[in-house]
Structure 1
Amino acid sequence: MTTAEHDTRADVAARLLDSSDQLSYDPLREVDWDSPVDPRHHGASPEWSTLYGTAYWAEMTEEQRAALTRQEAASVASTGIWFEMILQQMVLRDFYAKDPTDPAFQWALTEIADECRHSIMFARGATKLGAPAYRPPRHVIEGGRLFKTLARGEAAYAAILVAEEVLDVMQRDWMRDERVAPFARTINNIHVVEEARHMRFAREETRERLQGASAARRRFNALVVAFAGYFIVTSMWNGKVYENAGLDPKRAKREARRNQNHRALLRSSCAGLMEFLDSAGLLTAPAKALYRAAHVL
């Protein structure tokens, strides 16, 4: 890394540290954990439900719809916790034994501290929404274990960006939606504000690690990131949400799989992410196939 590149990276990290000092939240104090949840309140914007726009959705009562979005929001939060734990381990490993006086080192620890708070916040939020612990399928959990152990450089940071960008777009809708329970809007707002800094860092790290990378390396890591993105996105909405919301799980899963509304929403929300990956040379033909299979492209 040249001196100029190091200075730029240090400047970005220093600005992120300053932003964190000025605008960070304590979820234990900011979120109203004590007020009961109104059964009419949603956990997420209804338009983001996997059943929105289907024949089943048209038959559901408003309370059934709200119950479903509460379960779906908890499922998304649970997936967020799972990946935040992967993220923390990758960042810690990346900065192990590096210069602690470097602002990038200090920012990395700040980001990890943020993620710890976010995971606790998501866990408490899911509990308040009346949801169980939703987990990705076993093969995804084991794949994540392998990924966090082996992922390096741009593969790690681009995968972090994919997870954060997908969640960020939907949460920006949820935090402004008055149909969503007030405590859930606060959770979404906290996450959006603080994750904006994390996404900036992930973009900078991805660009930096790719400088001078060969075409073969870019193609390989494009595929690694796409696999990670596929399993992150397809794990967000756990199939058990329908039964836990009191619906017919077989019919709900069948209609959700065919729901073009949800797929279109995912694709439109990921347009900026796909543009970034393309500009970084990480949107190869095989990677595109995986993103299409996850309905984000």
Structure 2
Amino acid sequence: MARSTVRPETQDRHAEQEVARRLLDSAAQLSYDPVAEVDWDTPLDKDFHGASPEWSTLYGTAYWRELNDAQQKELTRQEAASVASTGIWFEMILQQMVLRDMYTKDPTDPRFQWALTEIADECRHSVMFARGAAKLGAPAYRPRRAVMELGRVFKTLAFGEAAYAAILVAEEVLDVMQRDWMRDEQVAPFVRTINNIHVVEESRHMKFARDETRKRLRHAGPLRRHLNAFVIAVASYVIVTSMVNRNVYAYAGLDTRRAVTEAKANEHHRSLMRSSCSGLMEFLASAGLLTRPALFFYKRAHLI
């Protein structure tokens, strides 16, 4: 019997192209237009939360128990808007990194075409998040200036597995939150729709990010693996700790200093983050990206 003359790298490339074709087919069959799908016209009903109350940074604290129902709902609306604004910030970074990665690639390759499809999705998501935050009655929450500048450096310099694994961390953390929010009837219906759209479409993006991370690490030596593990962990820490802007408490009518203090010590929220990120941490461990320096930052962010 004749042996196959197809090289392993050629087989890998064909397998990666097949994954990209399946993602393109999925996008063609199941994608949404937020302009048409989300109810933008019905006025905000303040009887609803903006996010599942259990996901509030103050849930379970003494301060939370002192808040009346209207204050709790206003806080979750502001927190949801902050998470959306942070999502916009990172999606803009993501788009630039993916575009730069594809700049010299073959446009006939299904992987190239999927990358552009993902960027188109992210553009729609950013507009959807922006309109959602505005409807929640929130200001333009932005990360701290230092974080914005770090993001500028990261999106310019990050490449390969560092870029795709950081994308994966941001998407996975947001995905877990939104899966809870989209099912929770306490959450405003239009927010649930936004979350559902994002969860469905981001599942494809996460598949691509995982595959790209594994591919880029295939021939990585120990030094490169350890360096990128550190970069990914630092980026993850910055992203996660920027999700809820401290200004949400003032806009919700709370004492910012007390709210920040209790939120930082909130073991319920820490436990929720750790349990929700167990699958993500397993993936990073399997990819050899949970080095000791990296673990320090994941623990600081309460992801592990």
Question: TM-score band, normalised by the shorter chain?
Answer: over 0.9
Which residue matches 1:206? Answer: 213
Which residue matches 1:2? Answer: 9
Q: Does 1:273 find its partner at 2:280?
A: yes
Which residue matches 2:73? Answer: 66
CA distance in 1, matches of 2:286, 2:14: 23
Which residue matches 2:64? Answer: 57
What is the one-letter code of the residue matched to 2:47?
A: R
CA distance in 2, matches of 1:97, 1:162: 26
Q: Which moved more, 1:34-43 or 1:111-120?
A: 34-43
CA distance in 2, matches of 1:295, 1:40: 31
SS in 2 for 1:2: helix
CA distance in 1, matches of 2:71, 2:91: 30
Which residue matches 2:26? Answer: 19
Q: Does 1:127 find its partner at 2:134?
A: yes
What is the one-letter code of the residue matched to 1:89?
A: Q
2:265 aligned to which of 212, 236, 258: 258
SS in 1 for 2:49: coil
4+ residue runs of structure 1 moved beyond 4 angstroms?
none
What is the one-letter code of the residue matched to 1:60?
A: L
The alpha-carbon deviation at position 97 of structure 1 amounts to 2.3
Runs of 5+ unmatched residues, structure 1: none
Alignment TM-score, normalising by the size of structure 2: 0.97
The alpha-carbon deviation at position 36 of structure 1 amounts to 1.2
2:230 aligned to which of 223, 235, 238: 223
CA distance in 2, matches of 1:293, 1:148: 23
CA distance in 2, matches of 1:198, 1:102: 17
Which residue matches 2:148? Answer: 141
What is the one-letter code of the residue matched to 1:196?
A: S
Deviations 1:29-82 (A, max 9, x none): 000001111112001000000000000111111111000000000000000000
Alignment TM-score, normalising by the size of structure 1: 0.99
CA distance in 1, matches of 2:219, 2:123: 34
1:45 aligned to which of 39, 46, 52: 52
Runs of 5+ unmatched residues, structure 2: 1-7
1:175 aligned to which of 170, 182, 188: 182
Deviations 1:149-199 (A, max 9, x none): 000100000000000000000000000000000000000000000000000
What is the one-letter code of the residue matched to 2:171?
A: E
SS in 1 for 2:220: coil
- RMSD over aligned CA atoms reads 0.7
What is the one-letter code of the residue matched to 2:65?
A: A
The alpha-carbon deviation at position 139 of structure 1 amounts to 0.7
The alpha-carbon deviation at position 98 of structure 1 amounts to 1.1
What is the one-letter code of the residue matched to 1:39?
A: K
Which residue matches 2:4? Answer: none
What is the one-letter code of the residue matched to 2:41?
A: D
Q: Does 1:95 find its partner at 2:102?
A: yes
CA distance in 1, matches of 2:152, 2:80: 24
Deviations 1:97-125 (A, max 9, x none): 21111000000000000000000000000
What is the one-letter code of the residue matched to 1:220?
A: L
Matched residues, number: 297
Which residue matches 2:171? Answer: 164
